[in-house]
Homo-oligomer: A and B are copies of this chain.
Amino acid sequence: MMMNTIGKILTLTTFGESHGPAMGGVLDGVPAGVDIDLDELQRFVDRRRTGQTTGSSTRAEQDRVEVLSGIWQGKTLGTPIGFIIRNTDARSADYDEIARCYRPNHADYTWQAKYGIRDPRGGGRASARETVARVVAGGIAIQALARLEITVEASFSPVDPAELERVAKDGDTLGGIISCVVKGVPAGLGEPVFGKLHAQLAAAMMSIPSVHGFEYGDGFGMTDKRGSEVMDRFVKHDDGSIGTVTNHSGGIQGGISNGEDITMRLAFKPVPTLMRPVPAIDGEGNPVTLQPRGRHDVWVLPRALPIVEAMAALVILDNYLIKKTNEL
């Protein structure tokens, strides 16, 4: 496997299997001299933890971030920031049966087809646990962006609590939509051909487990509009700056930020692991019925917010750095 790295100048490489000794990552390219508050970072990572909201898994990882390099005396050194998060509450025995089967809507079958070998414990590297490393890295990026007065905020489409309980009782699961807005991005970020800012954001967001769709600005809603209906008129503000009256474009035109809020939406499919008997196949393709085991989320949207914010922050900070190379 390759492509465990994302980014151009700011690069994040992650590693780790769900039930291995640790998850981890290396964030390279963070400029030197940036103040990093490790307590604040830990609190950001804690937002992703399980057991905090209705419908989330009862696997109770501490998710304690251990920074191994790149930050000294509260400041970045300009060197790669290596970090790990130990896996401590893994119950691998839950996965003995799964090791010999392919569950529907999981990566068991495709992973086997690709590598001919897999670590079935907790989904191995296919587990969404991999995203903890993204959240650590994104949390650092968010602190750097804050110094530039750029903020990232994600929110999820609400679900009726009673609906959630009913779904859980059925052993079923839900998906939903997460919106994300980035404020304070200066005009001029993004590479106008293959590296369009929204193309980079799409790649980053679609790499989050369970995301099946991405749109920015008015997105799919623009497809049945006329050009005149989605036109963002320019306006000169009182302070002399230039903006647009509306923001159908989602803050990006021609792949480059225009200074307005960057807005996007992500479609999450329902959690694939049901807590009821599920039809699967064994290694020879024979049908089997799997009994529910392990600890799983009914609904991941609240836990996914920091993941979405992390990916947005990584892309924006990377493009902020790229922008510096546009002039001699």
Contact = CB atoms under 8 A, between A and B. Distances in A.
Given A126-B192, A206-B196, A15 B267 contact: no
A38 to B, nearest CB: 13
A76 B248 CA distance: 32
Given A125-B79, A222-B212, A328-B147, A1 B242 contact: no
A175 B104 CA distance: 36
Contacts of A102: 234, 242
B13 A28 contact: yes
Nearest to A81: B15
A100 interface: no
Given A21-B66, A215-B267, A249-B105, A199 B191 contact: no
Contact of A230 (B214, B216, B254, B270): B270
Nearest to A83: B15
Contact of A111 (B14, B31, B66, B254): B254
Nearest to A281: B234
A215 B212 contact: yes
A187 interface: yes
Interface string A198-242: 111011101101001111111110111111111111111000101
Contact of A77 (B22, B119, B187): B119
Contacts of A28: 1-5, 13, 15
Contacts of A192: 1, 107, 111, 114, 125-126
Interface in A255-270: 255-259, 267-270
Interface string A239-251: 0101010001110
Chain A interface size, under 10 / 10 to 19 / 20 to 34 / 35 or more = 35 or more
A293 B96 CA distance: 56
Given A176-B223, A227-B274, A199 B193 contact: no
Given A3-B191, A212-B220, 10 more contacts: A1-B191, A4-B191, A5-B11, A5-B13, A21-B67, A110-B257, A176-B224, A199-B207, A213-B220, A242-B285
Interface string A263-290: 0000111111110101111000111000
B78 A117 contact: yes
B270 A107 contact: no
A65 interface: no
Interface in A46-74: 66-70, 72
25 contacts: A1-B193, A2-B8, A2-B9, A3-B194, A15-B28, A17-B72, A20-B69, A33-B327, A77-B125, A78-B326, A104-B233, A107-B255, A113-B187, A113-B188, A157-B223, A172-B226, A175-B224, A175-B227, A202-B214, A203-B206, A212-B218, A222-B267, A227-B271, A228-B276, A229-B270
A69 B24 contact: yes
A101 to B, nearest CB: 10
B285 A115 contact: no
A172 B6 contact: no
